[in-house]
Structure 1
Amino acid sequence: MSPTDEKTWAILLHLSPILISFIGPLIGYLVLKDRGPFISHHAKQALNFNITVAIGYLASALLMFVIIGFVTYPIVAILAIVFAIIAAVKTNQGEYYRYPLAIQFIK
C-alpha cells in the first residue's frame, strides 16, 4: 500500500465512527492492520478510542437513572467528534496521533 493510500485509509478510520460507531475502525483494523506501520497504528488508535467512547456511552446511559447521564451523554458525543476530527487532521499531516483519554485495549 502506498503512503498516500495509507494516509487516506487512516483518515477514513478516524472519521468513520461519526457515522457508524466503532464498526468502521473494527473492520479497518481487521482488514488493514498488516498493511504497514502507519495504517496499523491508526487502526489501533481509532478502535481503542471508539471502544472507550462506547464505554462512555454505556456509563452515561446507566447514569440517566440519576439524571446526570443526560449531561454526560452529549459531552461524550461532542468529545468523540472533536477528537476524531483532530485525529484526521493530524493523520493528514503524517503524524502518528494518539487519542487523549483512550484506553489502550489493543497494543
Structure 2
Amino acid sequence: MTSESLTSTVYQPTSDEKTWATLAHLSVLVNLFTGVLGPVIALVIYLAHKDKSRYVAYQSLQALLLQLVVWVGGGAFIAIAWVITGLLSLVIIGLCLIPFAILLSALPLVAPVYGVVGAIKTSQGEDFRYWLIGDWVRSTYTG
C-alpha cells in the first residue's frame, strides 16, 4: 500500500480494516469505565496493525493521540485549574473561577463523542481525521 492510499479516494479499506479502525476509535469509551485503559487499547491495535494496514495504523494512532491529549493532558489541566481555584478561593478571587473550573471538568466528555464520530466514519470506510491530530499523524506516514 503506497502513501497515496491514505489520501486517495480510490482506496477502499477492507471490512476487517474498517472493524479495527472502528474499535480503535471506540476505545475512548473504555475510559468512561476505567479512566485510563482506552489509550492502551488504541496502542495495542496500532502496534498489531502498523505493518499490516496503513489505514488501521493511521486511525488507531489518531485515536491514541486524541485520548492522550484529552484524557491525560486535559485531566492534568483540570487538576491544575482546581488547585489554583482552591488556592485563590482563600482570597475570594478563586470563587469567581469555580464556574470556569466546572466547565473545564466537562472537557473529557468531548473525547468519547468525537471517538464515536470517528468510529462511525471509519466503519463506513471513510478516511476520518481528528482536528489537528489527523494532519500531524498523516505527516508521519507521508513525510
Q: Could you say which TM-score interval applies, normalised by the shorter chain? A: 0.7 to 0.9
> Post-superposition shift, 1:21?
2.6
Aligned to 2:121: 90
The 1:105–1:73 alpha-carbon spacing in structure 2 relative to 1, beyond 3 Å, is farther
Aligned residue for 2:101? 69
Which ranges of structure 2 fall in alignment gaps of 5 or more residues?
A: 1-12, 31-36, 86-97
Shift of 1:47: 1.2
Counterpart contact for 1:52–1:102, Cα < 8 Å: no
Q: Which has the larger radius of gyration?
A: 2
Alignment match, 2:64: 47
Residues 94 and 31 of structure 1: CA distance in aligned 2, closer, same or farther (over 3 Å)? same
2:50 pairs, out of 33, 39, 44, with 33
Q: 2 CA distance for matches of 1:13 and 1:5?
A: 12
The answer to whether 1:10 aligns with 2:41 is: no
Q: TM-score, normalised by structure 2?
A: 0.65
1:22 match: secondary structure:
helix
Change (3 A) 1:34 1:90: same
CA distance 1:22–1:51, shift in 2 (3 Å): same
Q: Contact 2:62–2:137 at 8 Å: present in 1 too?
A: no
Residue by residue over 1:63-103, the C-alpha shift from the partner in whole angstroms, topping out at 9 and shown as x without a partner, is 111144332122x2221011001101110121111112548
Output the TM-score relative to the length of structure 1. Answer: 0.84
Instruction: Summarize the Cα distance change of 1:58–1:21 in structure 2 as closer, same or farther, 3 Å threshold.
Output: farther
For these two proteins, the number of residue pairs brought into alignment is: 105
